[in-house]
Each structure stands twice: as structure tokens, then as C-alpha cells.
Amino acid sequence: MNDVRYDLPEADEFTRPYWDAAAEGRLLLRRCAECGRAHHYPREFCPFCWAGEDRVTWEAASGRATLYTWSVIHRNDLPPFGTRVPYTAAVVDLEEGPRMMTEVIACAPEDLRIGMPLQAAFREATEGLAIPVFKPTGA
């Protein structure tokens, strides 16, 4: 039996604050003090101006986003996704600027609309580890 979990991140010393915050129901971003731009996924340097790790810090995100695009996945043979199909893979625009790949929950695919407001939610993946997902505002 294959026990590999393809849906779990491999947290390291650098990303630990991100995953610890997610486990508490908070979304973090990285923001560059040099150019002022926020980015996601977490990187030690700024992907826009290349400022080093001493100029990029963690900050709390609002959790608000709008739906940019999505795809409803009906087949995925990697564990544990096969037991969760269909699910909605999505790209959202976070209020702070970055775009983020995620999953939309609590919404029928036919109700999805580009630009619809979303709010961060967190799905517990294993004990002490939560994955940021998004749901329609008010859902």
C-alpha cells in the first residue's frame, strides 16, 4: 500500500511560521520592505525586486480574495484526492495583491463566478496541520 500523501506540504524551518499560522486559522504572506509588494508562496527573498531575506517579513493577510479562475477536478488518482473528487481547484486574487492556488469549498461548481468574493478557511489535513482553502463570503 502506498502511504505517500501528495496533499501535504513539507514544512521546513523557513515555512514553519506559515504552517503554524494556518493551523491557528490565520493566513500569512511575505511583504518586501524595499518595494512594498506582498507575495505568495512564501520565499525568503522578494520575487519582484530581489531584496534579501533581511528586507522581507511575514504579515497577516486579511483572508479576503476574489476568484480569478477555477477547474472542477473529476478524476485524480493520487491519494487522497481520489476520495475527494469532484473538487474545485482555483486561483484567487488575495486582497493584498498576490495570486494564490487553492481550493474552493462550500460552493457548487455552477455557482462559481469570476470575481466572486471569497474568504479564507482552513481544512485540517492531519493533527496540527491545516491547509488554506477558500469559500464564498458568508458561506
Q: What is the pLDDT along the chain (139 residues), one digit of tens a residue?
A: 456 777 888 889 999 999 999 999 999 999 999 999 999 999 999 999 999 999 999 999 999 999 999 999 999 998 888 888 999 999 999 999 999 999 999 999 999 999 999 999 999 988 889 999 999 998 7
Rounded to 5 degrees, φ, ψ at 109 are -50, -35
Query: Residue 55 belongs to what domain range?
Result: 16-136
How many other β-carbons are positioned within 10 Å of the β-carbon of residue 94?
A: 23
Total domain count, the chain: 1
What is the enclosing helix (H) or strand (E) of 19?
A: helix 16-23
User: Is 95 inside any structural domain?
Assistant: yes
DSSP state of 66: E
User: Is 11 inside any structural domain?
Assistant: no
Q: Which residues pair with 133 in a beta bridge?
A: 121
How many other β-carbons are positioned within 10 Å of the β-carbon of residue 103?
A: 20
Assigned C-alpha cell, 67: 476568484
User: Is 7 inside any structural domain?
Assistant: no
Report the distance separating Cα 136 and Cα 11, nearest Å: 28
Assigned C-alpha cell, 29: 504572506
- The pTM is what? 0.92
User: Is 3 inside any structural domain?
Assistant: no
